[in-house]
Amino acid sequence: MPKAKRSDNWGFPRWGSYESSRETQQLKLCDRHGCNEAGICPAPKSPNSPERWYFCQTHAAEYNRGWDYFEGLDKEERKKREADEQRDANAYQEAAHYSWMGSGDGSRTRDEMTALEIFDLTPDVEFEAVKKAWRDMAKKYHPDVNPGDEEAARKFQAAQAAFDVLRISEERRVWKPI
């Protein structure tokens, strides 16, 4: 007589093992005639229908290329639905004032963005390009090169401050072992 096996669920049915049941797994085959691949990609049989075809990835891509949402509609109905879709899609644009205030992906602070604007650089720029832009501005607006020019002195000081902001943020961003 085989030894009884203890349960693994400790009284909690959800703690049971997953995907180790002894029942056979049901696998849908691709609905394309003659294809024996797994049908893992559902596709609608017709617009606004809950019924689905199940295709393999190759046949799903082929089906999607030939899909026409407006099939069976006359020109006026097509234009009306397309206009309704466009109007609904513009609701996102109306909510733009809730979005991130400025360019970039949100990985840089407002001070960093201002510093990058001084150097005329994009938010996703590498730090080496920041160094190069800083050197160019320093050579161009340095007070020793432009003696007595107040505008050049202001630009030089702005470049120094912007570089300090970006240098400190880069030091914080990059991990260095002790």
Tokens representing residue 173 in the block: 């961003």
At residue 102, the pLDDT reads: 54
Reported residue count of the chain is 178
51, 44 in Cβ contact below 8 A?
A: yes
Sorted by sequence, the CB contacts under 8 Å of residue 99 that are 6+ apart come out as: none
Residue 49 has a pLDDT of 81
> Domains in the chain, start-ordered, CATH in brackets?
26-70 (no CATH), 110-173 (1.10.287.110)
What was the pLDDT predicted at 100? 54
The pTM is what? 0.43
Q: Does residue 59 contact residue 35 with C-beta atoms inside 8 Å?
A: yes
Task: Give the pLDDT score at 83.
Answer: 81
The mean pLDDT values, 10 residues at a time, for the chain of 178 residues are: 64 57 75 91 84 92 85 85 72 58 69 92 92 95 91 94 94 77
Residue 168: the pLDDT is: 92
